Amino acid sequence: MPNPKRRHSQQRSAKRRTHYKATSTTLTTDASTGETHVRHRAYVNEGKLIYKGKVVAEKAPSKA
Protein backbone atom coordinates (compact mmCIF):
# COMPACT_ATOMS: atom_id res chain seq x y z
CA MET A 1 0.00 0.00 0.00
CA PRO A 2 1.49 3.40 -0.93
CA ASN A 3 2.57 5.69 1.88
CA PRO A 4 3.66 9.33 1.71
CA LYS A 5 7.42 9.86 1.61
CA ARG A 6 7.23 12.94 3.81
CA ARG A 7 5.01 14.01 6.67
CA HIS A 8 2.08 16.30 5.84
CA SER A 9 2.25 19.69 7.53
CA GLN A 10 -0.30 20.78 10.13
CA GLN A 11 -1.41 23.57 7.81
CA ARG A 12 -2.24 21.06 5.09
CA SER A 13 -4.37 19.05 7.51
CA ALA A 14 -6.12 22.22 8.69
CA LYS A 15 -6.93 23.20 5.09
CA ARG A 16 -8.65 19.86 4.60
CA ARG A 17 -10.79 20.40 7.71
CA THR A 18 -11.97 23.95 6.97
CA HIS A 19 -15.53 22.93 6.10
CA TYR A 20 -16.24 21.97 9.74
CA LYS A 21 -18.07 24.93 11.26
CA ALA A 22 -19.81 25.49 14.55
CA THR A 23 -23.54 26.08 14.19
CA SER A 24 -25.83 27.73 16.67
CA THR A 25 -28.81 25.85 18.08
CA THR A 26 -32.20 26.53 16.55
CA LEU A 27 -34.62 28.07 19.02
CA THR A 28 -38.41 27.98 18.80
CA THR A 29 -41.16 29.79 20.67
CA ASP A 30 -43.93 27.47 21.84
CA ALA A 31 -47.38 28.69 20.79
CA SER A 32 -49.19 27.41 23.89
CA THR A 33 -46.79 28.68 26.60
CA GLY A 34 -44.73 31.34 24.81
CA GLU A 35 -41.55 29.72 26.16
CA THR A 36 -38.38 29.82 24.02
CA HIS A 37 -36.70 26.41 23.83
CA VAL A 38 -34.38 24.25 21.74
CA ARG A 39 -36.20 22.45 18.94
CA HIS A 40 -37.01 18.74 19.33
CA ARG A 41 -36.20 18.79 23.05
CA ALA A 42 -38.41 18.67 26.11
CA TYR A 43 -38.29 21.72 28.38
CA VAL A 44 -39.50 22.66 31.86
CA ASN A 45 -42.08 25.40 32.34
CA GLU A 46 -43.66 26.11 35.77
CA GLY A 47 -42.60 22.71 37.12
CA LYS A 48 -44.03 20.79 34.15
CA LEU A 49 -42.05 18.93 31.51
CA ILE A 50 -43.43 19.90 28.08
CA TYR A 51 -42.74 18.28 24.70
CA LYS A 52 -44.50 19.10 21.42
CA GLY A 53 -46.89 21.43 23.25
CA LYS A 54 -48.15 18.72 25.62
CA VAL A 55 -47.41 18.10 29.30
CA VAL A 56 -45.29 14.95 29.54
CA ALA A 57 -44.64 14.92 33.29
CA GLU A 58 -45.39 17.06 36.31
CA LYS A 59 -43.11 17.71 39.23
CA ALA A 60 -44.19 15.75 42.30
CA PRO A 61 -45.06 17.88 45.33
CA SER A 62 -42.16 18.09 47.76
CA LYS A 63 -42.61 16.52 51.17
CA ALA A 64 -41.52 18.98 53.83
Question: Across the strands, what pairs with 48?
Answer: 45, 58
How many residues are recorded in the chain?
64
Count of domains in the chain?
A: 1
Q: What is the pLDDT along the chain (64 residues), one digit of tens a residue?
A: 888 888 888 888 888 777 777 788 899 998 877 889 999 999 998 888 988 888 899 887 777 6
Q: How far is it, in rounded angstroms, from Cα 20 to Cα 16?
A: 9
pLDDT at 38: 92
CB neighbours (10 Å) of residue 20?
Answer: 6
Its pTM stands at 0.54
Segments forming the whole domain that contains residue 51:
25-64
pLDDT score at 64: 65
> DSSP of 21-64, one letter per residue?
---PPPEEE-TTT--EEETTS-EEETTEEEETTEEEEEPPPP--
